[in-house]
Structure 1
Amino acid sequence: MADARTPILRLANVEKRYGDTLILDRLSLEVPAGQRLAIIGPSGSGKSTILRLIKGLEPFQAGAIEVAGEPLRPPRSASWFARRPAARSHMVGMVFQHFNLFPHMTALGNVAEALARVLGLTRRDAEARARDLLAQVGLGGKEASYPRELSGGQQQRVAIARALAMRPQVMLFDEVTSALDPELVGEVLGVIRTLSRESGMTMLLVTHEMGFAREIADRVLFMEKGRIVEDAAPSQLFTAPQSERTRAFLRAVLER
């Protein structure tokens, strides 16, 4: 799918393996700045792995990845994780399926900690910014609550606020509603919907919520076995997919 905007993300012939198992098969992808890209497909197709590589959480065996023109090359030693480019890492925010909040910290502490430790803000400035971010995700008044005192949807909103704290240019959302009770899904999707409308930041969303992907995305990828099977606007992919494999997948998930 063509887009005239400058790509902020580039993946070129990226190969990822776990042992002998091929996860991404020479995958190439460009994402223009400001685009909202949804990635769908069956379990094990490599969707979440793409996000983890862009964030720099895992090594890859071949190919190249660039974020805003800065290359992330395959590692050559076991110290790779400690050496991954800090500036690039901060440009990319990621929200995970299982929240990953610090249980011993309040909502305010979870958001403020990185601002103080990583960006070097004073504790007062970090907490002020954290309060603003919690209010942005609808959690004003919950600053003193610990994760155990929050619902799953509220915990995920704290995680979104924490990712936003670093002012990333790219936000990655990895199945952020799959661990939630059905009645809590809407509140998290609502925050992402507002963020996508108001922020203009580049967003990649791995999701099983087909209706949400169709609504929010500018572009949708359908993946299987580490490859992109179909790449199209949601209006085309969800109504007239070109691949029989895409059609079969959509029939299966939409008829549940």
Structure 2
Amino acid sequence: MSVERLVKRYGQALVLDHVSLSVAEREVVALIGPSGSGKSTLVRCIHQLVPIEGGAVYVHGELQGFERTDGGLRALGHRAIAAQRQRIGMVFQQFNLFPHMSVLRNVMEGPVQVLGESPEQARAYAEQLLDRVGLLAKKNAYPRQLSGGQQQRVAIARALAMRPQAMLFDEPTSALDPELVGEVLAVVRDLAKQGMTMIIVTHEINFAREVADRIVFMEAGRIVEQGPARETLAAPKTERLRTFLSRGERS
């Protein structure tokens, strides 16, 4: 997975300023940085949730969102973009579960409606995933009956049900009470141990140090510093990252 000189604007504001980043298969990259640095926008661009103004995104070498023609690049249609998007799972700050569906139905819905799996096949895999995130006993419950941490774990299972090649996490614990953060991070930690390729936008520095292979520090729409997680967080090379980490430790 890679982005090359990615540019994104919202009105006159330049949110991503020619950002380039490559993520190897099975690698876990944590994006950190102050609010407004472009972290969430970057993963949303990778997932084609927002259009880009310049640059390119590749997944397994395939250009995302466009096709090359004799006349240059042509934007793909909605159906082709949806097919590309299926290969990458995404978990948001908000859980976005279907409130009128049970936990099991929430996880089954995508495989049945999008992938064309039989209900029996989708149910069996959904139950495996719910067991994996520790919620099989809640399969018949509805989202309103779950804690925030439980809802986020269902959201992760739902993303995994589409059998993605990689996962994107956009501040998966920011909407949770502090005592619920650990149960979600444990699921992400398990995914990392099993070799899932991941980009994780997070403000949990200790978690990033533990689970990520590489830290990428962003500010003002640019990558300021990156390197091996433990080494970079222990001995940052730039003054900006040193300042960011010291403020985080005091807060």
TM-score of the two chains, using structure 1 as the length reference: 0.92
CA distance, structure 2, for counterparts of residue 28 and residue 195 of structure 1: 25
Tell me the CA shift for residue 90 of structure 1.
Answer: 1.4
What's the CA shift for 1:148?
A: 0.2
Of the three residues 229, 232, 235, the one matched with 2:230 is 235
- Alignment of 1:115 with 2:111, yes or no, is yes
What is the CA RMSD across the aligned residues, in angstroms? 1.6
Instruction: Work out the CA distance in 2 between the residues paired with 1:83 and 1:225.
Output: 33
Are 2:239 and 1:247 aligned? no
Asked whether 1:27 is paired with 2:19, we answer yes
- In the TM superposition, what is the alpha-carbon distance from 1:74 to its structure 2 partner? 6.3
Contact 2:65-2:81 at 8 Å conserved across structures: no
How do 1:149-160 residues align onto structure 2 when only pairs under 5 Å count? 149-160=145-156
Give the Å deviation of 1:59.
0.5
Report the residue type matching 2:109 in the other structure: E
Determine the C-alpha separation between the residues in 1 that align with 2:79 and 2:221: 27
Question: Partner of 1:169 in structure 2?
Answer: 165
The gaps in structure 2 that reach 5 residues or longer are 68-72
C-alpha distance in 2 between matches for 1:234 and 1:255: 20
> Are 2:82 and 1:82 equivalent residues in the alignment?
no
Change (3 A) 1:245 1:81: farther
| 1:99 maps onto 2:69 in alignment | no
The amino acid of 1:248's aligned partner reads T
CA offset digits 1:68-122 (Å, max 9, x no partner): 1110246999x96724433321110000001110111110010000010011111
Sequence identity of aligned pairs in percent?
55
Q: Of the candidates 61, 72, 76, which is equivalent to residue 53 of structure 2?
A: 61
1:46 aligns with 2:38: yes
Q: Structure 1 residues 58 and 80 mapped into 2: Cα distance closer, same or farther (>3 Å)?
A: farther
Amino acid at match of 1:88: Q
What letter is aligned with 2:121? Answer: D
User: Where do 4+ consecutive residues of structure 1 move more than 4 Å?
Assistant: 73-77
Q: Find the aligned partners of 1:151 and 1:69 in 2 and give their Cα distance.
A: 39
Q: Distance in 1 between matches of 2:230 and 2:97?
A: 36
Structure 1 residue runs without a partner (length 5+): 1-8
**Matched residues in 2 for 1:82 and 1:88: separation?**
10
CA distance in 1, matches of 2:249, 2:225: 18
